[in-house]
Structure 1
Amino acid sequence: MAAVLNFAIFPMDKGAHISEYVSKVIEHIKNSGFEYQLTPMGTILEAPTVKEALQVVEQSYEILEPVADRVYCVMNMDVKKNKGAGMMKAKIESIESKIGNVNK
């Protein structure tokens, strides 16, 4: 099984500049050991199971909860039962095989 989860989580009560808080969440994701990709609008995470992916989201909330009275989170997932690691990379490679490099 492989679960690819795209999510954004941030405090809503800290004004317009929230990178101080978001960077703590990204550091946690970076240290999780899972494959991830930071994007301007969120983070894509690949984990072996849905439970592990959702644990990262829950832990991200736990980072923000002590410093924020309001936390916003949005996410979506793609789960494949018969797929192993590398789903994030495979999705990009599939498109690139048709149109060339997409990230340059």
Structure 2
Amino acid sequence: MSVLLEFSMFPTSDDCRDGSSVSKQVSKIIDAIDKSGISYQLTPMGTVIETETMREALDIIELAYEQLDCDRIYSALKFDIRKNSKNRLKSKIKSVEKTLKREINT
């Protein structure tokens, strides 16, 4: 099974913000995901991870949350779950590139 999860998570309370920037807090989350060994892709609006089970995906959300010691945290999650499939984090992009017959600059 392949569980693709796109999520964003960041503090909204002043106790964890540096003015309007949340990059320090988001960096803590990305560092933890990187150390977990889970495949991921950082985007300007969030992060996409791929796991083999829903439990693993939810564990990453909990891990991300644990990185932020803040009074208030915003998070949005989107799932794409597919049985009998894996490595979709890269294969979905390659499929579009093949259709376009060129590579998309990333």
Q: What TM-score results when the alignment is normalised by the length of structure 2?
A: 0.90
Unaligned runs of 5+ in 1: none
Letter aligned with residue 72 of structure 2? R
Q: 1:75 aligns with which of 69, 77, 82?
A: 77
Rounded to whole Å, the distance in 1 between the matches of 2:93 and 2:30 is 22
Q: CA deviation at 1:59?
A: 1.2
Letter aligned with residue 3 of structure 1? V
Q: Partner residue of 2:59? A: 55
State whether structure 2 residue 40 is matched by structure 1 residue 36.
yes
- Runs of 4+ aligned structure 1 residues displaced above 6 Å come to none
Number of residues of Structure 1 aligned to a counterpart in Structure 2: 101
How large is the Cα RMSD of the aligned pairs? Answer: 1.1
Question: Superposed, which structure 2 residues align to 1:76-91 within 5 Å?
Answer: 76-84=78-86, 86-91=87-92
Q: What TM-score results when the alignment is normalised by the length of structure 1?
A: 0.91
Letter aligned with residue 28 of structure 1? A
Q: Identity over aligned residues, as a percent? A: 43
Q: CA deviation at 1:103?
A: 2.3
Letter aligned with residue 12 of structure 2? M
Q: Partner residue of 1:96? A: 97
